[in-house]
């Protein structure tokens, strides 16, 4: 049974997006072997796989890339929490 990968359009014998996930991992590893951290980072954040799975992939890759991605994810989380906090202050001031 052949299907097309929903993200990359490649022929696959797999069900679901398993093949897409394998391609994602392969592309990340290939870019890191080429020392192209910038493209690997862009690919990591561009794909819509669930964040928990992507974090596991990064932890398996390890090294500098894991540290960079982890730092960026922390920064994104901090900014989101700050945005939520500011919105809550705005709502309190608005209704007072």
Report the pLDDT value the prediction gives residue 95, as an integer from 0 to 100.
56
Report the pLDDT value the prediction gives residue 6, as an integer from 0 to 100.
54
Per the listing, tokens 């990591």 go with 44
Measured between alpha carbons, how far is 63 from 61 in angstroms, rounded to an integer? 7
pLDDT along the chain (96 residues), means of 10: 50 60 87 91 86 86 87 91 88 60
Contact call for residues 2 and 12 (beta carbons, < 8 A):
yes
Residues in the chain: 96
3-state secondary structure of 12: strand
Report the pLDDT value the prediction gives residue 23, as an integer from 0 to 100.
82
Report the pLDDT value the prediction gives residue 75, as an integer from 0 to 100.
92
Report the pLDDT value the prediction gives residue 1, as an integer from 0 to 100.
29
Any idea where the domains of the chain sit in the sequence? 3-95
Give alpha helix (H) positions in the chain. 18-33, 37-46, 51-61, 63-95
């Amino acid at each position: 049974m052949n299907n097309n990968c929903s993200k990359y359009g490649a022929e696959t014998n797999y069900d679901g997006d398993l093949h897409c996930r394998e391609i994602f991992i392969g592309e990340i590893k290939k870019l890191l072997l080429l020392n192209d951290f910038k493209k690997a980072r862009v690919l990591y954040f561009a794909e819509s796989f669930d964040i928990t799975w992507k974090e596991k992939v990064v932890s398996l890759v390890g090294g500098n890339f894991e540290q960079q991605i982890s730092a960026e994810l922390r920064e994104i989380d901090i900014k989101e929490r700050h945005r939520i906090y500011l919105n809550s202050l705005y709502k309190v001031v608005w209704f007072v």
